[in-house]
Each structure stands twice: as C-alpha cells, then as structure tokens.
C-alpha cells in the first residue's frame, strides 16, 4: 500500500495516473519538466480507437479505455468527447482481403465492426476518391480534444488536493538500498514518496537507466497538418487501412516516399470546425521540426483519398515524438526488483486512446489492488533486458 | 472570422480568428490554473486560427504578462507554412 505518490511526467499518461490515484485517495504530486500537456500530448490527434488495435488483448485495452472515457466525460469538464465511430478505407484491391480478415478478427474480439463493400463505403463517405474499393467501420470509436483532456484530468485532481509542479525537471530518481523513495529535482529539492510512477514518454528510459533498467522506448516522429475552418469532409474519423500495415510494419503497395516516411492517411475533423491530416512514422531522433518533404507526402496522400481537399487551407504543420516500443504495447508495470518504482510509458500513438485504462491500472498496481485486466503483456520485464 | 462585435470588457475579442474573448481567456486561465501563455493558448484556442496569432500575439503576450504567466518569445511558436496555403500547393502541385 502506498499513499504518497510522485508521478513524473505531465503528459496525458501522467495526467491520467494523477487523476485515478487522486480519486482513490492517494496524495499525489505531479512533476512536469516543462508545461503540463505541452509535449507529445499537444502534438497529436484525438483518436480513441479500438479499430486499430490487434484483436485480443490489445483491442480489449482499447475497449476498456473507451468505457472509462465515456465515464470521464461526465466527471471532467468538457473535453470535446464524442463517439462518431471511425472508418478504415482500402487503397487498392490488395488490401481488401486483409481488411476483411481484420474485420472478422475484431468482431470475434467483441468489437462493433462492420465491413463495407465498395458501394456502401462511398454511400457513407461521399467525398472519397471513386477508386477506393472497400472499407470498414467501428461504431465504438471516439474522439476528443487532447489538449483539454489533459488539462481537465489535472484540474480535477488539483481541486481534490493533488499538487502540480510544472517547470520542474527531475534530475534523478531518489534510490537507496535498491528502493526508489521519490525524486530529486534539478533544483536539488527532494520529493519523498512511497511510490514513484515514471510516465515521461520518450524521456522515461533515461530516468530509469541509472537503476540498471534498460527500457527499449524510442522516439517515433509523426507529423500533422492543420486546416483552417472551412469545408469539412465528413464528421467521422477516416484512416486508410495501410495505417495499420504501417503501424505494424507490414508491406504495402504504395509510392516510395509514402513507404519511406511511413505515411498513411488520417483525417480527423475537430469540433472547432477544422480538421487534422496525418500521418507519418519515422525514427529520426528527437527533432520535432516539420520536415517539408514529409508534409508534402502526407498532403499528397490526403489528395489521393480526398481529391476535393485541393482547395483546403492549411495553417500549421507540426510534429511530435511517439514513445515507440518493439511490440507496440506500452509498459504499465511495477519495476520488478525495484520496490517503489512503477513505469507507465511507451504508448506510441495510443497515448490518448489508452491513458484512461493506463491510469486505472497504475492506480491498482500502486495501491496493491487487483487489476481489471490481466496486465502481464504490459510488464516491464517482458523485454528480457536489464535489472527488471 | 469575427463572430461578435466588441461592446464592453466582457465581449472584448482578443483572438478574432477563433472568436475568443477576454472573459473566456480569464475563465480558462483560472479554471485550468494556467501557468504560461502556451498553456493559455492550448486551453482557449486563442492564436490557433487562420492567422496563427500573427494578429493577436502582442495582445496575448501583454495579457499573459499582466496575469503573471510565463510569456517569453517561445510561448507562441510559429510553425510552417509561413502563411496559409492550400493543400494542393503543399502537395507540390503535381497531384490530380
């Protein structure tokens, strides 16, 4: 049992951990190096998807998070949560059979997914390019404003006694006798804790490395294009089926630049009346500058699926760093062999989707409760590296 | 895209593109205990519209300073494109 908890990292994962721990009565201090919600959680879309998770455990995590989010939408202030469903559309005939197989597998996992033949996909998405051969639809998929979601979680916890320390970089975990006892800030200040949760995204490996824990999380850069308010191309989220193939590293029949930058169409309308376009996936270090070549490839990809977007006005492009793991699952785990230390990181592009279920699991791990799901697949020790 | 005309302190529009008023900024700032201009932007949409704060940045910076928020030059970063551009141009004009 632990009552004093330090959460390191004020992104969506740290915010959700802070929320669930505070709600359970723990005394939480959230420590953020810069601005709460200002890192990867401000350079992302608002997808809350089950459709893009592997059937089985992965999709169960997604569904659990969707259920928790629907509850959070009643508890927190408005964060533009809505549940319009989402579409995956096929680029060419080669993708139709895999999309069919994917649909069946997700249905067997209990997801409300349906396969859409050519005629049906064009009936529902009239702006799509005429040669799109098929698609699928997941009715439970939701969307939200990630900026407001993070701030809402933190504001709720703060009102109930959680302490928030922004602009407070952590110099090191405070470890002695093989146990973590809190953190030491760059200012030299010690924050003591019974449990320390490291939820620092791509910064997590460096924080736990001094304890001999080798965590294979790497920054996977992704770009987004932001439109001005204007004509929209439907109210539901649309991705190309190749997004999944890109996410899981499968071969696609696409132009070379699309392949090189891991580009796949993501169209996300927002409540503000504009839309976002993605996506790209690259291992290019920690640079978050927009790369014009990647942006151009994403723009071309959008026009391949939505020829009518030619005249859409673009006001901003930016990039964020997804915390990638080798098996595309996050680490949500006690650090085996290091009492007092917990890790919640490595959600790649699923941080917004999975923050709620992550916060719930962390609460249960820290407070010694039984978790709602079997969390063995999320264990730190699964990579077979380092002390853990 | 001005959505309402300013007629008093409570309806003073600070960000015209997104129609964000002074009062809305004050409410958002207090509700989320905003600590910096960047955070204020993220919770209010001020500066996130078609002009990308090119018009309202001085007003936002002055407000933020007045409210004791971090308001340095990095808070309202501009990102490409340097001015609004249509998607076909961004795509290189070779599509379609």
pLDDT in tens, B36-71: 999 999 999 999 999 999 999 999 999 999 999 988
pLDDT of residue A364: 98
Fold for the domain defined by A86-139+218-324: D-Amino Acid Oxidase; Chain A, domain 2 (3.30.9)
Domain with CATH 3.50.50.60 in chain A: 4-43+147-217+327-383
pLDDT of residue A384: 77
pLDDT of residue B95: 42
The DSSP 8-state label assigned to residue A313 in this structure reads E
pLDDT of residue B96: 40
pLDDT lower than 50: segments of chain A: 386-388
Q: Report in angstroms the alpha-carbon separations of A381 from A118, A199, A254, A328, A373.
A: 45, 17, 37, 15, 18
Note the ipTM here.
Answer: 0.89
Q: How far apart are CA B17 and CA A226, in angstroms?
A: 14
Domain with CATH 3.30.9.10 in chain A: 86-139+218-324
Give the closest-approach CA distance of B7 to chain A in angstroms: 24
Say what the pTM is. 0.94
Q: Does the distance separating the beta carbons of A167 and B81 come in below 8 Å? A: no
Q: How far apart are CA A122 and CA A361, in angstroms?
A: 40
Q: Does the distance separating the beta carbons of A154 and B32 come in below 8 Å? A: yes
Residue A222 β-bridge partners: A320
Q: Does the distance separating the beta carbons of A303 and B87 come in below 8 Å? A: yes
- The verdict on A315 touching B (C-beta cutoff 8 Å) is yes
pLDDT tens by residue, A39-75: 999 999 998 988 888 888 998 899 999 999 999 999 9
- The verdict on B96 touching A (C-beta cutoff 8 Å) is yes
- The verdict on B68 touching A (C-beta cutoff 8 Å) is no
**Residue A77: its chain B contacts at CB < 8 A?**
31
- Burial of A5 per CB tally in 10 Å (0-12, 13-18, 19+): buried
Which CATH number describes the domain made up of A4-43+147-217+327-383? 3.50.50.60
pLDDT over 90 at B30, yes or no: yes
pLDDT of residue A243: 83
- Omega before A130 cis (within 30°)? no
Could you tell me how far CA A33 lies from the centroid of its own chain? Answer: 20
DSSP assignment of A40-74: GGGSS--EE-STTSPTTHHHHHHHHHHHHHHHHHH
| Secondary structure element (H or E) that encloses residue A124, with its range | helix A118-124
SS3 A171: strand
**Residue A312: its chain B contacts at CB < 8 A?**
86-87
Residue A220's contacts (CB-CB under 8 Å, 6 or more residues apart) are: A281, A282, A283, A321, A322, A323, A324, A348
Q: How far apart are CA B64 and CA A353, in angstroms?
A: 32
Q: How far apart are CA A35 and CA B36, in angstroms?
A: 8
**Residue A227: its chain B contacts at CB < 8 A?**
87
Report the largest interatomic distance among the alpha carbons of chain A, rounded to a whole angstrom: 66
Q: Does the distance separating the beta carbons of B90 and A295 come in below 8 Å? A: yes
């Amino acid at each position: 049992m632990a009552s004093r908890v330090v959460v390191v990292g004020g992104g969506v994962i740290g915010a959700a951990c802070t929320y669930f721990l505070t709600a359970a009565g723990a005394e939480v201090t959230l420590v953020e190096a810069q601005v709460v919600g200002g890192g990867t959680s401000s350079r992302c879309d608002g997808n809350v998807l089950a459709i893009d998770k592997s059937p089985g455990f992965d999709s169960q995590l997604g569904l659990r998070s969707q259920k928790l989010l629907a509850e959070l939408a009643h508890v927190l202030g408005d964060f533009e949560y809505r549940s319009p469903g989402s579409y995956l559309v096929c680029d060419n005939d080669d993708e139709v059979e895999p999309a069919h197989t994917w649909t069946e597998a997700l249905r067997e996992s209990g997801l409300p997914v349906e396969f859409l033949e050519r005629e049906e996909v064009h009936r529902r998405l009239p702006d799509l390019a005429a040669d799109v051969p098929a698609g699928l639809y997941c009715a439970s998929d939701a969307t939200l404003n990630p900026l407001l979601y993070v701030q809402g979680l933190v504001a709720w916890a703060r009102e109930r006694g959680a302490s928030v320390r922004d602009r407070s970089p952590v110099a090191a975990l405070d470890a002695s006798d093989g146990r973590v006892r809190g953190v030491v800030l760059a200012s030299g200040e010690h924050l003591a804790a019974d449990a320390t949760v490291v939820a620092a995204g791509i910064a997590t490996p460096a924080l736990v490395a001094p304890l001999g824990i080798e965590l294979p999380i790497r920054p996977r850069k992704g770009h987004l294009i932001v439109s001005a308010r204007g004509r929209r191309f439907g109210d539901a989220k649309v991705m190309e089926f190749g997004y999944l193939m890109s996410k899981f590293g499968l071969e696609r029949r696409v132009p070379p630049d699309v392949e090189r930058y891991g580009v796949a169409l993501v169209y996300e309308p927002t409540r503000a009346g504009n839309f976002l376009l993605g996506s790209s996936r690259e291992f290019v270090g920690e640079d978050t500058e927009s790369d014009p070549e990647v942006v151009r490839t994403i723009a071309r990809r959008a026009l391949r699926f939505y020829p009518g977007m030619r005249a859409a006005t673009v006001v901003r492009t930016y990039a964020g760093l997804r915390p990638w793991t080798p098996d595309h699952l996050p680490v949500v785990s006690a650090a085996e062999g290091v009492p007092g230390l917990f890790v919640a990181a490595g959600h790649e592009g699923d941080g917004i989707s999975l923050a709620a279920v992550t916060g719930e699991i962390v609460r249960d791990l820290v407070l010694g409760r039984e978790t709602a799901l079997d969390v063995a697949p999320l264990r730190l020790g699964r990579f077979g590296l380092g002390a853990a | 895209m001005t959505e309402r005309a300013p007629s008093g302190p409570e309806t003073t529009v600070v960000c015209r593109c997104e129609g964000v008023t002074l009062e809305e900024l004050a409410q958002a700032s207090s509700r989320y205990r905003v600590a910096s201009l960047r955070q204020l932007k993220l919770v209010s949409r001020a500066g996130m519209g078609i002009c990308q704060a090119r018009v309202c940045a001085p007003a936002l910076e002055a407000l933020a300073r007045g409210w004791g928020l971090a308001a340095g030059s990095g808070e309202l970063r501009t990102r490409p494109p340097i001015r609004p551009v249509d998607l076909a141009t961004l795509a290189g004009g070779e599509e379609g």
